[in-house]
Amino acid sequence: MTKTIATESPRQTINPKDLRHAFGKFATGVTVVTCQAPDGAPHGATVNAFTAVSLDPPLAQVTLIRGNKASEYLEDRPFAINIMSEDQLSTCMNFAGKPSKTPVKWRCEGEIPVLEGNAATIECRPWQIYDGGDHLIVIGEVIDLEINDIDPLLFISGKFHHAGTLHGGTPWEASGDSIAHGWLEGSSTFNAV
């Protein structure tokens, strides 16, 4: 038997501007990641790179630009992922470098400062940090959360948006791999099809 080994083709150069444009076509929510600075003052950074990682253990991920203050602070400090509501645009812009004309509303109880008026707040303790090129991938273990009945702020193609109308029903409805339908629930072995 002869094995054929494919040779690696030359890597195509990707234009960073085009890549940013392509990434922007994926609609995201908007978060502000908050933590305490070394002097104990609350600090935050606007981040749209947020991902749910795991339910068991409960893990969430944010990706921060390498070298910004928040990425330095999160190495060994608990933090909050504040999922912004539709009416928190000025707060988002404040933590993106455009100071708000009105004071930011904080709730500083314990080690993790959180913003008020969020669609949801996910508090985390450090779990793992990975190299992500010009970013750091920060994974936190969820230790507390708060969910409010408020629509989140959305970000698409470099612009902020409001949530629109429901489109196409419930995505998990009658899906074979829906957790609600128990496809994997309680299974420890799987039979070949």
Residue 180 resides in a domain = no
Residue 173 resides in a domain = no
The domain in which residue 119 lies consists of: 18-163
Helices (H), the chain: 16-24, 69-73, 89-94
Residue 76 resides in a domain = yes
Higher pLDDT, 83 or 158: 83
For residue 28, name the pLDDT band (cuts at 50, 70, 90).
Answer: confident
Residue 34 resides in a domain = yes
Residue 61 resides in a domain = yes
- Average the pLDDT over 173-185 and give the result: 54
Residue 176 resides in a domain = no
191: Cα within 13 Å, side-chain hemisphere: 1
Does residue 192 have a pLDDT over 60?
no
Residue 170 resides in a domain = no
Q: What is the pLDDT of residues 134-167, one digit of tens each?
A: 889 999 999 999 999 999 998 887 777 788 776 6
What residues contact 139, with CB distance under 8 A and at least 6 apart? Answer: 53, 59, 60, 61, 127, 128, 129, 130
What CATH number did the domain enclosing 37 receive?
A: 2.30.110.10
Residue 124 resides in a domain = yes
Q: How many domains does the chain fold into? A: 1
Residue 141 near residue 59 (C-beta atoms within 8 A): yes
